[in-house]
């Protein structure tokens, strides 16, 4: 009986010592918690898409709480989330322009020339790394293998008739598709943008027409039509400054290749 009591006492004392050590360690190594950071994190959507430029929502919450990032830095949450976070931080949420991805290619299966039958890996980056770069004659255009589709966790892209197409109502402008496109065809434009140039071919007119029925030939007619200096031809291709564009549509109406499309 004495041995049982001794054993119980030893176990009790040992447990007490361990508890005291753990309690002391918890106090000594306690990491301060920023209540603002916790509050901000509660409003972030939790997609961890990286569209804000940070590793995930936890990292963004920490950056916002410390003043390193703006309260409207989350592209997924938009204005509604920015306003809520602004209340936590004691600042105005600021104006947020909803941005969406846009694929600068209209070379569908019907319009793009085909140079060969491609039987390789159905991945844009891998196809772009081998001679030939897929089956389309235009080396600047959409490869159509859907790497951007696979990268989008919001199901905002799909391949139709050989090119990637964005559902702008589903897009949150996280930028994952931009990272995946080896031809750099995808850019962010305002959701309310009226028109956009759907081509990225930088070759001169004759070479463009040889590989695609609808590519930009760099003729400059669109530039001459614009009264607001919103469209310029650079490197043989038209570019629209969406900040200046009023959406009048004159450039699209006069484009001989009909490559300036409604967005």
Q: Model confidence over 165-198: pLDDT tens digits? A: 999 999 989 899 999 999 999 999 999 999 999 9
State which CATH number among 3.60.20.10, 3.40.30.10, 1.10.15.40, 3.40.50.300 fits the domain covering 35-89: 1.10.15.40
| Architecture of the domain whose range is 98-192 | 2-Layer Sandwich (3.30)
CB contact at 8 A, 116 and 142: no
CA 17 to chain centre: 54
Cβ atoms within 10 Å, residue 10: 10
- Tell me the pTM: 0.78
What mean pLDDT comes out for the span 137-152? Answer: 94
Q: pLDDT by residue (tens digit) across 24-56?
A: 666 665 556 678 898 999 999 888 888 888 888
What is the average pLDDT score of the chain?
A: 89
Q: Give the distance between the most distant pair of CA atoms in the chain.
A: 104
Look at residue 244 in the predicted model and tell me its pLDDT.
95
In the block, which residue shows the tokens 């028109």?
195
State how far the Cα of 258 lies from the Cα of 53, in Å rounded to an integer.
Answer: 35
What SS3 class is residue 42? helix
- Is the pLDDT reported for residue 13 higher than 80? no
What mean pLDDT comes out for the span 145-174? Answer: 94
What mean pLDDT comes out for the span 97-117? Answer: 92
Look at residue 138 in the predicted model and tell me its pLDDT.
95
Terminal C-alpha separation, the chain: 87
Look at residue 24 in the predicted model and tell me its pLDDT.
67
Look at residue 205 in the predicted model and tell me its pLDDT.
94
Cβ atoms within 10 Å, residue 24: 10
Phi-psi region of 142 (alpha: psi -120 to 50; beta: other; left: phi over 0): beta
State how far the Cα of 135 lies from the Cα of 13, in Å rounded to an integer.
Answer: 76
Look at residue 28 in the predicted model and tell me its pLDDT.
63
What mean pLDDT comes out for the span 87-101? Answer: 85
Task: Enter the DSSP assignment of 114.
Answer: B
Q: Where in the chain is the domain with CATH 3.30.70.20?
A: 98-192, 194-263
What SS3 class is residue 73? coil
Q: How far is CA 34 from CA 39, 84, 118, in A?
A: 9, 17, 55
Which phi and psi angles does 124 have, rounded to 5°?
A: -60, -45
Residue 208 contacts by C-beta under 8 Å, 6 or more apart in sequence? 138, 201, 215, 216, 217, 218, 236
Fold type of domain 194-263: Alpha-Beta Plaits (3.30.70)
Comparing 10 with 68, the larger pLDDT belongs to: 68
Look at residue 143 in the predicted model and tell me its pLDDT.
95
Confidence tier at 10 by pLDDT (50, 70, 90): low
Per-residue exposure over 169-197, b if at least 16 CB sit within 10 Å of its own CB, e if not: eebbbbbbbbebbbbebbbbbbeebebbb
Confidence tier at 16 by pLDDT (50, 70, 90): confident
Q: pLDDT by residue (tens digit) across 235-262?
A: 999 999 999 999 999 999 999 999 999 8
Cβ atoms within 10 Å, residue 222: 27
State how far the Cα of 171 lies from the Cα of 180, in Å rounded to an integer.
Answer: 15
Confidence tier at 226 by pLDDT (50, 70, 90): very high
Q: What percent of the chain has pLDDT over 70?
A: 91
């Amino acid at each position: 009986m004495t041995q049982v009591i001794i054993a119980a006492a030893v176990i009790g004392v040992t447990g007490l010592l361990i508890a005291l050590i753990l309690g002391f360690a918890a106090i000594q190594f306690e990491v301060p918690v920023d209540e603002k950071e916790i509050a901000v994190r509660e409003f972030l959507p939790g997609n961890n898409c990286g569209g804000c430029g940070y590793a995930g929502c936890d990292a963004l919450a920490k950056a916002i709480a410390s003043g390193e990032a703006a309260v409207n830095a989350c592209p997924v949450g938009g204005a509604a989330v920015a306003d809520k976070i602004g209340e936590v931080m004691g600042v105005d949420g600021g104006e947020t322009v909803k941005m969406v991805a846009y694929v600068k290619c209209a070379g569908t299966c019907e319009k793009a020339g085909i140079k060969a039958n491609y039987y390789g890996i159905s991945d844009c980056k891998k196809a772009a790394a081998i001679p030939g770069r897929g089956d389309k004659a235009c080396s600047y255009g959409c490869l159509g293998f859907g790497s951007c589709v696979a990268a989008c966790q919001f199901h905002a892209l799909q391949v139709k008739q050989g090119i990637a197409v964005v559902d702008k109502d589903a897009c949150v402008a996280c930028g994952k598709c931009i990272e995946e496109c080896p031809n750099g065809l995808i850019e962010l434009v305002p959701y309310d943008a009226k028109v956009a140039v759907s081509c990225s071919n930088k070759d001169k007119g004759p070479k463009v027409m040889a590989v695609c029925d609808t590519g930009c030939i760099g003729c400059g007619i669109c530039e001459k039509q614009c009264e607001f200096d919103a469209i310029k031809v650079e490197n043989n291709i038209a570019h629209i400054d969406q900040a200046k564009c009023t959406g009048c549509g004159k450039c699209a109406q006069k484009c001989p290749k009909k490559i300036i499309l409604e967005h």
